[in-house]
Amino acid sequence: MNDETKKAAALTGAAVVFAALAVVFLTAGMRERPQHPIFLVDPVHLDTSPVRMNYDTLTDARYDTSDYDCYLCHSRAERVELQFDDVGDLILKEHDYITFAHGPARAANYCFNCHNRDRLDQFRTQYGRTLSFSQSSELCGSCHGVTYRDWVADAHGRTSGYWNLAMGDRKRLDCTQCHDPHDTRFPSLAPAPGPHSMRDRIPAQLATDGRNDDE
């Protein structure tokens, strides 16, 4: 085999290799990238609305507030008498949807600590001040003074809007928008999904199969 034959063979080989490379590179560029689901934030976890509604939002939203209309059932002339069972628990009768868990050892297990016995559609503080249903936070403050002071300073409870009051308004929630006044502990919540390493089990509705079409 002489030099020229070798040269020809080498050149042919190189041409074949280059052509193969060209094909490989081109197809590699065209081939779809592996598609796998992207983790997206579930909008459920972005909800900024409070966990409960206060009296004002209930009436504003025209919800059924008949529960607050005490004299639909009670008589104005008759004084309400409370009844207790053998272990000293209040018999709730028609109000049995209420769970009593206010204070340690259910210490506040007595309606007229807060409700006005003489005007059932009002509140009455321990010092005899009467308040409307819309003023529930002041009622809470009549016992929980330190927390009330924090709340007035925006240090207790949720706020939203503007930290800079010169630039916009701030919204502060009523006590009852987080706490059920009869069962005051903040309700447990299901936690949002954990960090990335946990996300091999992505729920189908959170996954999308598309990538950005930025080309």
Partner 1 sequence: MSDMHSTPGPREPARPGNDNGMSRRSFLRLSGGATAFAGVAALTAGLAPLRELASFTSLEKFLQKHYKEMTPREMERVLDRIAREVERQYGMRPHVRDLKPMDGVEFVYALNLSRCIGCRRCVHACVAENNQSGDPALEYIRVVKMPQGTFDLTKGEHNYEPESVPEEGYFYMPVQCQQCANPPCVKVCPVRATWQEPDGITVIDYDWCIGCRYCQAACPYFARRFNFKKPVIPKERLNPNMSYLGNRPREVGVVEKCHFCIQRTRAGRYPACLEVCPVGARKFGNVLDPESEISYILREKRVFTFILKEEQGTLPRFFYYLDK
Binding of partner 1 at residue 25 (CB under 8 A)?
yes
- Burial (CB count within 10 angstroms: exposed 0-12, middle 13-18, buried 19+), residue 137: buried
Tell me the per-residue interface mask from 61 to 100 with partner 1, x by CB under 8 A, - otherwise: ----------------------------------------
Residue labelled with tokens 């189908």: 204
CB neighbour list of residue 130: distance below 8 Å, 6 or more residues apart: 116, 119, 122, 123, 124
Using alpha carbons, select from 92, 101, 130 the residue that is nearest to residue 114: 130
Binding of partner 1 at residue 205 (CB under 8 A)?
no
Residue 123 is given by DSSP the state E
Q: Which of 31, 32, 46, 88 binds partner 1 (CB under 8 A)?
A: 46
Q: Which of 1, 31, 34, 38 binds partner 1 (CB under 8 A)?
A: 38
Min. distance of Cβ 54 from partner 1 in angstroms?
Answer: 15
Smaller CB separation from partner 1, 37 or 142: 37
Min. distance of Cβ 138 from partner 1 in angstroms?
Answer: 19
